[in-house]
Structure 1
Amino acid sequence: MASTFVPPLLAPFVRVYGKVAPLMGQLGHMLVFFVRAIVAVPVALRHYRGEFVRLLSDIAWGNGSLVVGGGTAGVALVLGVTVGALVGIEGYNFLDLLGLGPATGIISSLVNTRELAPIALSLAFATQAGCRFTAQLGSMRISEEIDALDSLAIRPIPYLVTTRLMASVIAVIPLYVVCLAVSYLTTQLVVQVISGGATGSYLHYFTLMLSGQDMLYSLLKAIVFVWIATTIQCYYGFYAGGGPEGVGVAAGHAMRASITVVIIVNMLLTMALWNVDAGARFGG
């Protein structure tokens, strides 16, 4: 096999290109997949409404579903309780040093709403329902079921991917509202147990900083996170290869990519929605 001569001065750049080019190619392929899945929403609603309704029922409320039966609801609630307790413990212990223990309500209304609750829910959904999406599509790929859909004139991406994306986004809305409420309640209970004081001061500071706009932005973040994580995990399952072992490898890659992208997008959305301004002012 003939080898291509590379000048010594260019050799480091060629090696870097050899490592970066495949990664950029995969990112471009994933972006095209992401766009195709979004563009296919009207197609899925027009031709595959039955599959969408079935998936929505299975994911959200069906017997043995991915969320309730599969444990995502339980995981989300546990994470909501955990992050709420952590905010209550750490926030109160720090502010109490300054004599501002009840002001932990400020931390709860900002941190739970803007950061922790959306991330907690997206991770719960990705680790439970998202992994199952990867396994389902991966097993269909290696058993050539996706190729069979093509032969039957059924478009695989709208039928398998877009329907899952839409069902996930709709199913996650009520689940997120419950998770956020649980985190609020847990923080309040923890502060009350630690301080043993009345709830009036805590609720005063809590309502001082909490706004409906923040809650809507928080819900938007949760929806975006679930949409991105579900798309990534469907992508790795849709293009899985290498037999049953390849499905497991694809699930691992999907989890790693989903968590990384969600954290990066969280930073970008926080800067875009709130910038560096807390959105409230103290006066007096």
Structure 2
Amino acid sequence: MEEFVKADKTICILINQHGRVYYSNIDVAAAREHLEHFHIIDHLPVDYTINYNVGHYSITVDKVGLDEAEYYLILIQPHGNIYRYAYRDSFTGLYNRNYWEQLISGMMHRPIPKRFTLIVIDVDNLKSLNDNRGHLAGDKAIRIVGQSIRESIREQDIAIRYGGDEFFILLANTKKAIVEKVINRIRKSINRRCESENIHIEISAGTACSDSIHKLEKVITMADCNMYKEKKEKKIQVRQMADELIDLRQKLEALRDNLNRKVIQDSNISINEELLELSKKLDKLITKYLKYIQ
């Protein structure tokens, strides 16, 4: 339906109660095509005006009386540039929450696949980035994650910045191996961008599958729970690593103290200098590890 996308004027169609085109400012055949494409017959009002959006267009349907008969006046208006701002997130270029709400309510003409996987992604360390490096770093993290998602999915998949640091991906596939590949591609893309941008970003991802749109609410809950489960497991791993680092720090400090004593006791100047240099290196290692456990 490329001709729809190129349309830049308001289309006016008047139909009777049986759906027959009574008047149109475009060709009658094209008017019928528009009625079918936008499912307008399915949205005819009983006794009031209705408005809804389909893709790039705003549809208004009003019941009117003419010549003692009832008709429906239909206006189809292209959003133009307004569409991009209404449904696109300016930070990432992904669809925004407004688009998601329209999509799941059935107001978008774009169909949701009967079988799909929902991926929920959350940035783990956004608060830390904002606190330690400022909100510009946090904004950069959001952009990097959004860009990585965009380049890691197919055209038929739908990516949403749901809000803050949370992202939704509606994947037209339910095979576990495919879903894992997509998530791995996103992680690799993030890591690659982080190296060039001198920033560290970590994400958690949760998934859930469905074969029916009516299960979508449950799918969102399941995917969200799985994402938080991954976050919890990461925190446990971090605590375990912290315990290991604390133990390593204690061993390094003990080794450093022994070296320092030998430096004082040994009268050989060349050996003292070597031991002193090694002690300095140990001090640097201890300082480095301390950063990760505080």
Aligning the two structures, in what range does the TM-score lie when normalised by the shorter sequence? under 0.3
Task: Decide which structure has the larger Cα Rg and report it.
Answer: 2
